[in-house]
């Protein structure tokens, strides 16, 4: 019985490697050096599939992968239907924030009850956040380079992930509100959890042990 793990390239892939190692699994190829989308591992019964970050929940939901690692931001946008989410892995940490041009008075716009134009990839999270605060917004869906929107007049504000803050700074933007902290979670297909119970449980337990050990080391 093969187990398929869905990962996205970059931060999630890199931060997942120590967790896989703790579970006794080594990925045999470097995704940055190879064009392959299916990577073998040191365990003949475990393979990794590389998909776009926003497609990881979809692969796991429909059984294209048994389990995966996805950012909380991606899961909130997806809705999480059909997914068992047993573990916050504490990796790929960042925050979802509101940012504006340094010369835009966000607090005044909110206070006056003005309609604020907000560009974001995270329309669901943004809608919920501004509705909770009672702020009127027009949302503009973008798929990337959100920092450009306030600079070109497309929007007053953006909702985007912030890690070091360097990207905002480099584009003359300032963070005016933190919506929520974000980290990546383990997600599991619910049917697979029944059919491949033992193998998946062992993997989840190993990830859990490695996550707890890392938390202890950090404290
Ligand atoms: P930074 O300049 O370190 O604040 O990083 C901000 C840029 O990296 C933005 O374009 C974000 O969309 C992206 N980013 C930051 N953290 C993450 C993360 N954990 N997952 C995915 N994208 C991220």
Q: Assess whether pLDDT exceeds 90 at residue 218.
A: no
Answer whether residue 219 shows pLDDT above 90.
no
188 shares a domain with 88 = yes
For residues 98 and 151, membership in a common domain is answered with yes
Same domain, 130 and 207: no
Please tell me whether residues 157 and 110 are part of one structural domain: yes
Contacts with 7 (C-beta within 8 Å, 6 or more apart), sequence order: 13, 16, 48, 49, 50, 51, 56, 68, 69
pLDDT tens column, 125-171: 999 999 999 999 999 999 999 999 999 999 999 999 999 999 999 99
Please check whether residues 176 and 189 belong to one and the same domain.
no
pLDDT of residue 30: 94
**Distance (Å, whole) CA 126 – CA 49:** 30
Same domain, 157 and 114: yes
**Are 85 and 109 within one domain?**
no
**Do residues 70 and 122 share a domain?**
no
The domain spanning residue 207 has which CATH number?
3.40.190.10
How many angstroms does the Cα of residue 111 sit away from the middle of ligand 1?
29
pLDDT at 51: 98
Domain of residue 102, residue span: 94-182
pTM score over 0.85? yes
- Count: domains in the chain: 2
What does the pLDDT look like over 77-113, one tens digit per residue?
A: 999 999 999 999 999 999 999 999 999 999 999 999 9
Q: Does residue 202 sit in the same domain as residue 165?
A: no
Whether 71 and 108 map to the same domain: the answer is no
- Non-local (6+) Cβ contacts of 201 within 8 A are none
Which residues does a 6 A CB cutoff place in the pocket of ligand 1? 11, 71, 92, 94, 160-167
Residue of 74, 142, 148, 163 to mutate, ligand 1, most atoms within 8 A of C-beta:
163
> Ligand 1 center to residue 69 CA distance, Å?
16
């Amino acid at each position: 019985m093969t187990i398929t793990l869905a990962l996205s390239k970059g931060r999630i892939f890199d931060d997942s490697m120590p967790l896989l190692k703790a579970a006794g699994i080594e990925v045999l190829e470097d995704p940055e050096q190879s064009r392959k989308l299916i990577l073998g591992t040191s365990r003949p019964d475990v393979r990794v599939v590389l998909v776009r970050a926003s497609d990881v929940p979809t692969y796991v939901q429909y059984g294209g992968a048994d389990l995966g690692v996805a950012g909380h931001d991606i899961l909130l946008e997806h809705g999480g239907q059909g997914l068992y989410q047993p573990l916050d892995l504490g990796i790929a940490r960042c925050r979802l924030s509101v940012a504006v041009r340094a010369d835009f008075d966000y607090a005044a716009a909110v206070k006056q009850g003005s309609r604020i134009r907000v560009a974001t990839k995270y329309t669901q999270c943004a809608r919920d956040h501004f509705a909770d605060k009672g702020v009127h917004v027009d949302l503009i869906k973008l798929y990337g380079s959100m920092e450009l929107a306030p600079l070109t007049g497309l929007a007053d504000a953006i909702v985007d992930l912030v890690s070091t803050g360097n990207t905002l700074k480099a584009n003359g933007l300032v963070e005016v509100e933190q919506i929520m902290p974000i980290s990546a979670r383990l997600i599991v297909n619910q049917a697979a959890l029944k059919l491949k119970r033992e193998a998946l449980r062992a993997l989840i337990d190993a990830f859990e042990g490695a996550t707890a050990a890392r938390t202890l080391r950090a404290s």
